[in-house]
């Protein structure tokens, strides 16, 4: 378990170093993700080692957004002034983005790999 | 009693414990509802904690001192998405073209429709700028807002609300429209509603979750590139 934590943190660290070092607009953890995929390709045995930790972490991904979400108590002025308008904007634009993205993907995927989607 | 409270409420232990307890309540409520998307665990936990902070008169920075340990895990969790991605890499490699197209369309629609609608509803300029990167994952969106001169704290909240809204509406919305491809469903919600959408996608199906994680990662990058351009076009 500790070994898996060290691996995750090390790849995140490497990602941060690369992102800062090259001034990339890509977040460090995303670069870390790509590097870890490369490492899994080189050493597939890593998958079994890390599964227990990553399954737990991803199984409770929701938890990790709670602290940032609670920041709403620090923004009550904005909520009071423009809360309803903001809610309308967020609901409509998120719905549009989901439908547009899913539609483009589904239409094109039917041509490339129709059997994989179920 | 009040002395003990005034000591504890300034410390990290209380707010870390409260965060985990509120999440357990949210998770319990989600299960008790028969895993209804309407009972979103993040939403329930945020409502509980907001209530507690307001009743106890605790400021958000004080709360965050304790909650930061949970918040910190967002980074390692993002790296951890490498595992489902690796496990399904064959499926992923076959749909690179659909993914690229859906990413571009989803990202532009998310930003463009929010700015257009927000402008039409008369939202102030700094709020509009803070709204632009709302579909990207929290740390990235906050960085973008800082660069563009928006309000980072507000962006953090708008990002989380976007995620919660996406997680709540995605299943009924795409069921209603008859989308059955879990790759398309997962990818779209990852692009539009980042990690909370991804958490929802994993609740439904591992393939959906995997594609959602990819959508989230790719849109973090694309939003960082496109947001300055789109904001300048609009404002």
Residue B68 domain-assigned (yes or no):
no
- Tokens at A43, concatenated: 């050493």
8 Å CB contact between B92 and A105: no
Q: How far apart are CA B22 and CA B4, in angstroms?
A: 22
8 Å CB contact between B94 and A112: yes
Q: In terms of domains, do B151 and B197 share one?
A: yes
Residue B50 domain-assigned (yes or no):
yes
- Tokens at A65, concatenated: 């957004």
- B147 pLDDT above the threshold of 90: no
- A30 pLDDT above the threshold of 70: yes
Q: What would the pLDDT profile of B162-208 be if each residue is shown by its tens digit?
A: 999 999 999 999 999 999 999 999 999 999 999 999 999 999 999 99
Q: What would the pLDDT profile of A43-71 be if each residue is shown by its tens digit?
A: 999 999 999 999 999 889 899 999 999 98
Q: In terms of domains, do B51 and B110 share one?
A: no
Largest CA distance in chain A: 54
Whole-complex ipTM: 0.90
Q: What would the pLDDT profile of B53-108 be if each residue is shown by its tens digit?
A: 999 999 999 999 999 999 999 899 989 989 998 998 888 899 999 999 999 999 99
A116 pLDDT tier (thresholds 50, 70, 90): low
Determine which of A20, A32, A33, A62 to mutate to test the interface with B (most B C-beta atoms within 10 Å).
Answer: A62
Structure-derived torsion over alpha carbons of residues A66, A69, A74, A76, reported in degrees to the nearest 10: -130
8 Å CB contact between B195 and B163: yes
A113 pLDDT tier (thresholds 50, 70, 90): confident
Query: Domain limits of chain A?
Result: 1-74, 75-117
Q: In terms of domains, do B22 and B100 share one?
A: no
Overall average pLDDT of the A109-117 stretch: 77
Residue B74 domain-assigned (yes or no):
no
Taking an 8 Å cut-off on Cβ atoms, the answer to whether A66 and B162 are in contact is: no
Residue B161 domain-assigned (yes or no):
yes
Selecting from B102, B154, B192 the residue whose C-beta is nearest the C-beta of A75 gives B154
8 Å CB contact between B134 and B110: yes
CA atoms within 13 A on the CB side of B85: 26
Q: In B, residues 136-195, which contact A (CB 8 Å cutoff)?
A: 137-140, 143, 151, 153-154, 156-166, 169-170, 173-174, 177, 179-185, 187-189, 191-193, 195
Q: In terms of domains, do B51 and B127 share one?
A: no
Residue B94 domain-assigned (yes or no):
yes
For B219, the closest chain A residue by CA position comes to A26
Residue B160 domain-assigned (yes or no):
yes
Residue B64 neighbours by CB distance under 10 Å: 19
Overall average pLDDT of the B109-132 stretch: 94
Q: How far apart are CA A67 and CA B97, in angstroms?
A: 36
pTM here is 0.89
Q: In terms of domains, do B103 and B49 share one?
A: no
Q: In terms of domains, do B130 and B27 share one?
A: no
Q: How many domains does chain B have?
A: 2
Q: In B, residues 22-51, which contact A (CB 8 Å cutoff)?
A: 22-23, 26-27, 40-43, 45-46, 49-50
- Supply the range of the domain harboring residue B16: 1-58
């Amino acid at each position: 378990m500790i070994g898996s934590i060290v691996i995750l943190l090390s790849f995140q660290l490497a990602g941060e170093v690369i992102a800062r070092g090259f001034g990339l607009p890509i977040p460090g953890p995303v670069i870390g993700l790509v590097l870890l995929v490369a490492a899994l390709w080189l050493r597939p045995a890593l998958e079994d080692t890390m599964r227990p930790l990553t399954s737990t972490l991803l199984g409770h991904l929701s938890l990790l957004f709670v602290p940032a979400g609670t920041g709403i108590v620090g923004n009550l002025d904005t909520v009071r002034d423009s809360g309803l308008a903001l809610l309308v904007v967020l609901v409509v634009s998120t719905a549009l983005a989901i439908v547009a993205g899913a539609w483009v993907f589904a239409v094109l995927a039917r041509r490339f790999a129709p059997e994989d989607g179920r | 009693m009040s002395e003990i409270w005034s000591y504890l409420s300034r410390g990290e232990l209380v707010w870390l414990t409260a965060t985990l307890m509120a999440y357990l309540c949210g998770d319990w409520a989600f299960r008790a509802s028969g895993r209804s998307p309407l009972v979103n665990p993040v939403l329930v936990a945020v409502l509980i904690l907001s209530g507690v902070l307001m009743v106890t008169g605790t400021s958000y920075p004080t709360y965050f001192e304790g909650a930061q340990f949970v918040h910190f895990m967002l980074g390692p969790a993002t790296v951890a998405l490498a595992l489902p991605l690796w496990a399904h890499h064959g499926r992923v490699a076959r749909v690179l073209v659909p993914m690229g197209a859906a990413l571009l369309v989803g990202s532009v629609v998310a930003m463009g429709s929010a700015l257009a609608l927000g402008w039409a509803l008369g939202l102030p300029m700094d709020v509009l700028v803070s709204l632009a990167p709302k579909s990207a994952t929290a740390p990235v969106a906050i960085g973008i807002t800082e660069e563009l001169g928006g309000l980072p704290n507000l962006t953090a909240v708008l990002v989380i609300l976007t995620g919660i809204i996406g997680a709540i509406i995605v299943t009924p919305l795409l069921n209603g429209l008859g989308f059955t491809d879990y790759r398309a469903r997962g990818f779209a919600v990852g692009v539009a509603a980042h990690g909370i959408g991804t958490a929802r996608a994993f609740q439904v199906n591992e393939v959906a979750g995997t594609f959602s994680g990819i959508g989230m990662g790719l849109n973090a990058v694309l939003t960082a590139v496109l947001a300055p351009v789109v904001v300048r076009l609009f404002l």
